Amino acid sequence: MIQIQNLSIRQGTFALFGVSLEVPPGRYAVLMGRSGCGKTTLLETIAGLRAPHAGTIALAGRDVTRLRPAARHVGYVPQDGVLFSTMTVRQNIGFALDVRGAPLVDTARRVAELADWLEVTHLLDRYPRFLSGGEKNRVALGRALANRPPVLLLDEPLASLDDDTRDHLVTVLARLRERREVTVLHVTHNRSEADRLADVVFRLDGGTVLETSG
C-alpha cells in the first residue's frame, strides 16, 4: 500500500502543496500530468531522494517519511533506467541483493528467476552499452524487483521506445499487475499506458492530485 498525506515539496520556485493519494495493496496505479507538473519530484520524494517540507509517506503500512532510501524497501526505476555501466546485466539485477549481503546462491537463484521472467537470460553477461532501450528497461525493472519490495515506483518506463518495444514492455508490466504481489505507482503522460495497465488513475494538476478513475 502507498499512503501519501498532505505532502508538500519545495524545489526552487516550484512547489507541490497538500498532495494526498492512496493505492491499495497489490494495485497498479498510474499518475498522469503534463511535463513539468511535478510527477518525477513526487516519485523521488516517495523513494526518499528528496525530503518533503510537510506531510507523511507510508509504504506497506510503515511510516517512512524520515527514512533514508535504502531503509524504505521500495523498488524504483528512474527515467531511462540508469543501469550501472561497469556491471553486467547479471550484476545489475543482483545489485540490491549483493548490497544487502544475501548468500550468493540466493542471489544467483533470484537473478535467474527474474531474467527468465523478463526474457533477458541470453543477456546476463552483456554490459549496458550493448543493450537496446527496451532491454535496458527490462533489466532496470529486474533490478528494482530483485529485493522483493512491496512497493514499485516507475518513472516513464515506456518513454523513448519504439512501438514494438513499448508493446512488449507493456505485456511484461501487465503480467506484473496480474501477480498482485507488489503495489505499483507508474508515472506517465501517455493516456494509452493508463488505459492498458491501471487499476486506478491519478492526475497531478496545479500542485494537487486528483483521482480520475478506479
pTM value is 0.92
Higher pLDDT residue, 80 or 20? 20
Q: What is the pLDDT of residue 183?
A: 97
Q: What is the mean pLDDT of residues 67-85?
A: 91
> Between vectors from CA 54 to CA 76 and to CA 208, what angle results, nearest 5°?
70
CATH assignment, 2-83+148-213: 3.40.50.300
Q: Which residues of 51-84 are buried (b: 16+ CB within 10 A; e: fewer)?
A: ebeebebebbeeebbeeeeeebbbbbbbeebebe
Q: What is the pLDDT of residue 13?
A: 63
pLDDT tens for 8-50 read 998 776 778 889 999 999 999 999 988 888 899 999 999 999 9
50, 41, 2: which is closest to 151 by C-alpha?
2
Residue for grid cell 518495444: 165
pLDDT at 214 over 70: no
Q: What is the pLDDT of residue 94?
A: 97
The percentage of the chain sitting over the pLDDT mark of 90, rounded to a whole number, equals: 73
The answer to which of 7-11, 98-102, 149-153, 195-199 has the lowest mean pLDDT is 7-11
Q: How confident is the model at residue 185 (pLDDT cuts 50, 70, 90)?
A: very high
Q: What is the mean pLDDT of residues 127-137?
A: 94
- Tell me 199's DSSP state: S
156, 214, 146: which is closest to 185 by C-alpha?
156
Q: How confident is the model at residue 199 (pLDDT cuts 50, 70, 90)?
A: very high
68, 12, 28, 16: which is closest to 202 by C-alpha?
28
Q: How confident is the model at residue 163 (pLDDT cuts 50, 70, 90)?
A: confident
- Residues 60, 38: Cα–Cα separation, whole Å: 23
Q: What is the mean pLDDT of residues 111-132?
A: 96
Where is mean pLDDT largest: 9-13, 97-101, 106-110, 160-164?
106-110
Backbone angles phi, psi at 74, to 5 degrees: -125, 140
Whole-Å CA distances, 119 to 76, 82, 136? 20, 19, 12
